[in-house]
Structure 1
Amino acid sequence: MKRAITPAVLVLLAASLLLVATPAQAVGSATVVDRFGRTVNDYGVKLVDWEGYLANPYIELTVRPPASGPFPVTIDLKAEGTSRLMMDLPSQLTATGATKQLTFANASEQKTFKLAIHSKRAPGADELYTLRLNIRAADNSTLVQTMPIRVQQDQKTALEPTIPINFDYRYDTITGYFNNAPFRTAAEEAVKDWFRFFDLQPFDTVAAGAESNHLPGNDWQNTINVTNNVAYNGMYVFFRGIQTPYSTGYPAANGRYATRNGQQLPGPIHRSTAQIFEYDEAGKQLFTSLADEDWYKTEIAGSVLDVHGLVMHEYGHAVAYHSDWAGMRNYVNTQGANDQEVIAYQGRTVPLDSSYHIPGTQPYWDRLSGQSGGWTHLFPTRRWMLTKLALLVAENAGWPLNRNLTPFLAPSIVSTSLPNAPAGQAYQQTLTAKGGVPFYDWRVTGGALPAGLSLDRFTGTISGTPNTAGTYSFTVELRDYDSASTPVTRTFQLTVGGGGPNPTPTPTATSSPNPNPGNLATQATASCSFTSSWESCAAINTGGDPASSNIGAPNQGNRWGTWPNQGEQWAELTWSSAQSVRQAQVYFFDDNQGIDLPASWRLQYWNGSSYVDVPGASGYPVAANQYNTVNFSAVNTTRLRVVLQSAPSFSVGLLEVKAYS
């Protein structure tokens, strides 16, 4: 029997059809906030790649969901554009970037995530990627938001050890691992990664056959004594593969330590080491790739054993983390209580266990990168990376760190002055800084900018149109993204009106009028071929004016010198984007001792594939106690290099380099 459809039923059916047909309302946008309380939706975020050979610092961001639901709201994060991008666990690494999911129960809930990038071993330019937020509400309405991820690439040229390293494969007779070329390359690079960060000069030469060490057989039986087959003045490394029971490294046990010019060096520093590689893990394949975009593959659990990561870790025992290093024995005996630098960095003492490992628990993960030299990390990476913490602890073995490298630079404001601002005209000047974790926050904390001008918190750019003439004094504060850093400040004076831009310098016998008062060098990153451990490459582009060529004292950070290295040396300026340059001014360092004026010098620029001499150079004067100026045909470049040829038996140095468009 058929039942009649009543009018009430028809109304219910119509309402039901109407609900199905109605499209979902678009969900609102999310807000992303950084640790300074800045909304980064428009500007995006900034990461840094520190020198290319160790774990990089991360940034933490807070996500606030849409103001209205319907809830729950899910936000799928995707840091995309390179496989090197990663987010804190739980998350995934992929060939195109990192993914992570956040779910919000209501509008008042907020959640944090951490974003970082694997090191890029190949030098290169700054990078630009995308952070994508796919937002989905309970009614399946969706919205996609994107913002840029800027990556500052600090490694503009390859960083190499300053001493030669000799590798000896003669005793790899059990497994033959090191006969495989990719395996050998990965292992050598892992060893070099330690020495890339040490500030070393060649030692006295050890004659062939004079340095003795020992190597084990399988199960550490049948130990054999070995010696170096060639003379060397750097470090000597014996490689051997065995089948059981474990990989490790250790220094020479013969007590032959380092001398230079016949003088015993403090340490003591062992001159040879041994690296033992063992591989006995069923179901795993040896992974030897060093390609930047292959790093994420080391996370494939249970399928690969990363040769580079394992050797880097185990060679750490050879080069530092071993009881044969007197300084490390003392560090273990005192539980790290005497190393104030490690305590200041990590915020606590960092003990080593009885096997000379940093504990693998979270309080002892490297504070800025969230990684460790073991299996567990804040991020889903199985590649064991060298960390700043590991290097600071390793210094106890007697290896001095190269403090000119970016991981060890404290934040500082580089800009020292501002050009005048014509009244009623558009004005723009960008303050520059270096050091720390450079997702910087700029603020005026004292005085005031001239009316009409503002300071961009993200970029440090002062811009606008000032209208009221006068001289204004204000203090700028710089904060970097390391929460343990102390903010730094600098007070500036800015004159509005008063005849327009600052006047150009009065010409001298070795200088010519400069049509542009803006010194581009202060906006660049400095790097040098070699730097004495008591000098600073970063001194060359501070924007200051030395009083004379013989200035300062060791360890004051206001001069660059190359003693005892002689011959051709160089210092260069690298900009994040191309600059038009037509003039340079160079102030030489001459201490009337081992550092002298160069015999000759020249300027080169990077043409995109190689360094070439600047065209139409007006000449290269060599004078003490003044700037030496060179004019040349304008070049558009990201790098400008000062190449110095030392006089016989002398080294060279610089106090300041300026560059103008």
Structure 2
Amino acid sequence: MKRLLMALLLVLCTLARPAHAISAAQVVDIFGRTVNSYGVKLVDWQGYLANPYVELTVRPPQDAVFPVTVDLKAEGTSRLMMDLPSQLTATGATKTLTFANASESRLFRLAIHSKRGPGNDEQYTLRLNIRDNAGATFAQSMPIRVQQDEKTAIQPTIPIVFDYRYDTITGYFNNAAFRTAAEEAVKDWFRFFELTPYDTVASGAESNHLPGNDWQNTVNVTNNQAYNGMYVFFRGIQTPYSTGYPAGNGTYHKHNGVQDPGPIHRSTAMIFEYDEAGKQLFTSLADEDWWRTDIAGPVLDVHGLVMHEYGHAVAFHSDWAGMRTYVSTSGANDQEVIGYHGSAVPLDSSYHIPGTQPYWDRLSGQSGGWNHMFPTRRWMLTKLALLVAENAGWKVNKNLTPFLAPSIVTTSLPAPVAGQPYSQTLTARGGVPFYDWRVTSGALPAGLTLDRFTGVISGTPTAASGTFTVELRDYDRRSTPVTRTFTFGGGSPNLALSATPACSYTSAWESCAAINTGGDPAGSNIPGANQGTRWGTWPQSGQQWAELTWPSAQSVNRADVYFFDDEQGIDMPASWKLQYWNGSAYADIPGGYPLAKNQYNTVAFSPVSTTRLRVVLNSTGSSSVGLLEVSVRGGT
């Protein structure tokens, strides 16, 4: 009997535990990299803006008994979210993937809701809990790194005056939290605009109108103080809808007495409607609370609604002349929007970007409407919405990180020493920075390797010389990869520093001497305040040149050229080349000539001995051209 009971117990224990073990799932990114060990990198861009997502592919364990279920949880903050179907929680986002067989794979997208204001980089955790049809389980995790781009708070560059005198129907704006949420939503638009204060508008000089409770009665209003930025009238009503609009009074902002292009309206109105039984007004700006809102449910987010409706006041309205033109052409003439989105983006009859999937912001998967790739909570500004808004006459600050093209910041590397440990990190900026680094031509010295995720070149080299080209890809499929060539071998100096520059033509406010200062430009479109540190040829077009002259012959084998492109008449050249002085004439240097903004463009060539090196640029059409910096290296 005892033996029988023991045998029965053994059978029950066997039935209670899986007959086998299973291994980890593989998580792969768009570059084919397995990220199980390194993890995932997200970015929280400057400004309160919908952030880009990363797309990942899960491949189930091949030793599992199918079907297999993988429960995903991105945990550590409520700001994490995954594409639908998924759930938001106070501690993160959850999603379930199922696999019928070993050959299947499943995509999911991961993003993080924007954090208001500056902050430090963050790290959270992505967990995968796997269970197969035989009851076997496996738990795995990997880090989620979040790069916080806003290290210093960005603020509107013009003053904004809020007028609450006419909030006499509902008194919504008497609530301090309500008022703060509404004001921040308005400021969030202007934080992205590159503006300077306008001519002062005298008190009582700006007329506008506000609706009565039924939108039938009109209240004529004027500003009660002088201002030189944007004046915003706020009013709460009970029916029938919220909206915003500019003052269609025929007067527009000026600078030094000259009307700004656009033209730019001098005041706007924001009308907030709310009269729904059982619905709660949500006024918190705490980013850990954002997930508690519900646009279509019982919790109405004040910030999100004002951000959306004030968009009609600041741009998306027929009173803006540029937006009328944009609508009449279905956006077909806005090449920047087309370049970003991949196609023209029309507006519907009420001046909204359509809420259907083809018109979601391409990088964030979100829109200022009801439907998103992710759970719909707080309406957020998107990069797409800001690019469309420029048609109203605003200038978006393209020096903010959401608008920077990817570029390799590192311009040179110290030479390694054979037999000694070496470690240097390549750095980049712009784009969507879950970067992929690769050596695409030449080779690192034997013993050194390049980490695809971090850009770290490390190891103990057995040789100390070599030339190699590094390619950088960012996590935006529409981005063009950028490259830079590095040469090890004696640590050759920048020969341009000892040369005398000369240029074919220089605008009066620019400088030919800017081309060989040894600087490292932050981008091709450096602000006007940096005039004198750039060479430009406006208004001249056609072929232009800049050259460097040395007092004695130099052996040169590489040049790095950084183009100036202010998007206002000075543009990237259609083509360019290098020429060297052979003693009696200039001769072309054969080679591949890359054309990329926001980075050095490198040409390596067989050494030539010369006293002069010329950069020849051919402009596009009537555009002018320019340079920010030229670096020259030598070798034999």
TM-score (norm: length of structure 1):
0.75
Q: State the alpha-carbon separation in 1 of the partners of residues 162 and 330 from structure 2.
A: 33
Match of 2:269? Answer: 274
Cα distance 1:284–1:22, how it changes in 2: closer, same or farther (>3 A)?
closer
Secondary structure at 2:102 match in 1: coil
1:358 and 1:364 in contact (8 A); partners too: yes
Cα distance 1:15–1:151, how it changes in 2: closer, same or farther (>3 A)?
closer
Cα distance 1:280–1:416, how it changes in 2: closer, same or farther (>3 A)?
same
Q: State the alpha-carbon separation in 1 of the partners of residues 253 and 185 from structure 2.
A: 23
Match of 1:31? Answer: 26
Q: CA deviation at 1:299?
A: 3.8
Q: State the alpha-carbon separation in 2 of the partners of residues 21 and 90 from structure 1.
A: 33
The answer to whether 1:551 aligns with 2:534 is yes
1:439 and 1:481 in contact (8 A); partners too: yes
Q: State the alpha-carbon separation in 2 of the partners of residues 353 and 549 from structure 1.
A: 45
Match of 1:60? Answer: 55
1:77 and 1:133 in contact (8 A); partners too: yes
Q: State the alpha-carbon separation in 2 of the partners of residues 22 and 86 from structure 1.
A: 34
Q: What does 1:436-475 align with in structure 2 at a 5 Å threshold? A: 436-469=431-464, 471-475=465-469
Match of 1:659? Answer: none
**Which one of 79, 84, 87 corresponds to residue 82 of structure 2?**
87
Match of 1:580? Answer: none
Match of 1:433? Answer: 428
2:207 and 2:223 in contact (8 A); partners too: yes
Q: State the alpha-carbon separation in 2 of the partners of residues 334 and 316 from structure 1.
A: 20
Q: What does 1:399-438 align with in structure 2 at a 5 Å threshold? A: 399-438=394-433
Q: State the alpha-carbon separation in 1 of the partners of residues 431 and 160 from structure 2.
A: 31
Deviations 1:360-379 (A, max 9, x none): 10000000000000111000
Counterpart amino acid of 1:226?
Answer: V
The answer to whether 1:130 aligns with 2:125 is yes
Q: CA deviation at 1:81?
A: 0.7
Q: State the alpha-carbon separation in 2 of the partners of residues 377 and 555 from structure 1.
A: 44
Q: CA deviation at 1:104?
A: 1.1
1:80 and 1:97 in contact (8 A); partners too: yes
2:361 and 2:382 in contact (8 A); partners too: yes
Match of 2:479? Answer: 485
Cα distance 1:483–1:225, how it changes in 2: closer, same or farther (>3 A)?
same
Counterpart amino acid of 1:30?
Answer: A
Counterpart amino acid of 1:386?
Answer: L
Match of 2:387? Answer: 392
Q: What does 1:232-311 align with in structure 2 at a 5 Å threshold? A: 232-299=227-294, 302-311=297-306
Match of 2:97? Answer: 102
2:86 and 2:375 in contact (8 A); partners too: yes
Deviations 1:194-232 (A, max 9, x none): 100001000000000000000000110221100000000
1:275 and 1:318 in contact (8 A); partners too: yes
Q: State the alpha-carbon separation in 1 of the partners of residues 537 and 241 from structure 2.
A: 45
Q: CA deviation at 1:71?
A: 1.5
Q: What does 1:136-535 align with in structure 2 at a 5 Å threshold? A: 136-299=131-294, 302-469=297-464, 471-495=465-489, 498=490, 535=526
**Which one of 109, 117, 121 corresponds to residue 116 of structure 2?**
121
Deviations 1:61-83 (A, max 9, x none): 00001111112111111101111
Counterpart amino acid of 1:551?
Answer: R
Cα distance 1:71–1:184, how it changes in 2: closer, same or farther (>3 A)?
same
Cα distance 1:526–1:309, how it changes in 2: closer, same or farther (>3 A)?
farther
Counterpart amino acid of 1:324?
Answer: D
Secondary structure at 1:407 match in 2: helix
2:159 and 2:197 in contact (8 A); partners too: yes
Counterpart amino acid of 2:419?
Answer: G
Q: State the alpha-carbon separation in 2 of the partners of residues 299 and 132 from structure 1.
A: 26
Q: State the alpha-carbon separation in 1 of the partners of residues 538 and 47 from structure 2.
A: 26
1:535 and 1:555 in contact (8 A); partners too: no
Cα distance 1:554–1:315, how it changes in 2: closer, same or farther (>3 A)?
farther
Q: CA deviation at 1:248?
A: 0.3
Match of 1:643? Answer: none
Q: CA deviation at 1:16?
A: 4.7
Moved more, 203-212 or 380-389: 380-389
Counterpart amino acid of 1:345?
Answer: Y
Deviations 1:285-305 (A, max 9, x none): 000000111111114862200
Match of 2:608? Answer: none
Counterpart amino acid of 1:208?
Answer: S
Stretches of structure 1 that go unaligned for 5 or more consecutive residues are 509-520, 528-532, 541-547, 557-654, 657-661
Cα distance 1:368–1:504, how it changes in 2: closer, same or farther (>3 A)?
closer
Q: State the alpha-carbon separation in 2 of the partners of residues 441 and 268 from structure 1.
A: 43
Secondary structure at 1:192 match in 2: helix
Q: CA deviation at 1:128?
A: 0.7
1:312 and 1:386 in contact (8 A); partners too: yes
Secondary structure at 1:331 match in 2: helix
1:90 and 1:100 in contact (8 A); partners too: yes
1:534 and 1:555 in contact (8 A); partners too: no
Secondary structure at 1:194 match in 2: helix
Cα distance 1:161–1:553, how it changes in 2: closer, same or farther (>3 A)?
farther
Secondary structure at 1:393 match in 2: helix
Counterpart amino acid of 2:467?
Answer: S
Cα distance 1:191–1:338, how it changes in 2: closer, same or farther (>3 A)?
same
Q: CA deviation at 1:105?
A: 1.3
Q: State the alpha-carbon separation in 2 of the partners of residues 162 and 95 from structure 1.
A: 35
TM-score (norm: length of structure 2):
0.78
1:42 and 1:147 in contact (8 A); partners too: yes
Q: State the alpha-carbon separation in 1 of the partners of residues 336 and 493 from structure 2.
A: 45
Counterpart amino acid of 1:323?
Answer: S
Match of 1:641? Answer: none
Secondary structure at 2:293 match in 1: helix
Stretches of structure 2 that go unaligned for 5 or more consecutive residues are 499-518, 540-627, 630-636
Q: What does 1:564-575 align with in structure 2 at a 5 Å threshold? A: none
2:295 and 2:301 in contact (8 A); partners too: no
Q: CA deviation at 1:176?
A: 0.2
Q: State the alpha-carbon separation in 2 of the partners of residues 428 and 44 from structure 1.
A: 22
Aligned length, in residue pairs: 519
Deviations 1:607-628 (A, max 9, x none): xxxxxxxxxxxxxxxxxxxxxx
Q: CA deviation at 1:280?
A: 2.2
Q: State the alpha-carbon separation in 2 of the partners of residues 292 and 18 from structure 1.
A: 49
Q: State the alpha-carbon separation in 2 of the partners of residues 551 and 344 from structure 1.
A: 27
Match of 2:15? Answer: 20
2:81 and 2:88 in contact (8 A); partners too: yes
2:71 and 2:130 in contact (8 A); partners too: yes
Q: CA deviation at 1:483?
A: 0.4
Match of 2:64? Answer: 69
Q: State the alpha-carbon separation in 2 of the partners of residues 383 and 436 from structure 1.
A: 24
Deviations 1:464-501 (A, max 9, x none): 111124x3111111000000111111111122xx5xx7
Q: State the alpha-carbon separation in 1 of the partners of residues 319 and 155 from structure 2.
A: 26
1:419 and 1:502 in contact (8 A); partners too: no
2:408 and 2:484 in contact (8 A); partners too: yes
Secondary structure at 1:277 match in 2: strand
Q: State the alpha-carbon separation in 2 of the partners of residues 23 and 555 from structure 1.
A: 75
Secondary structure at 1:219 match in 2: coil
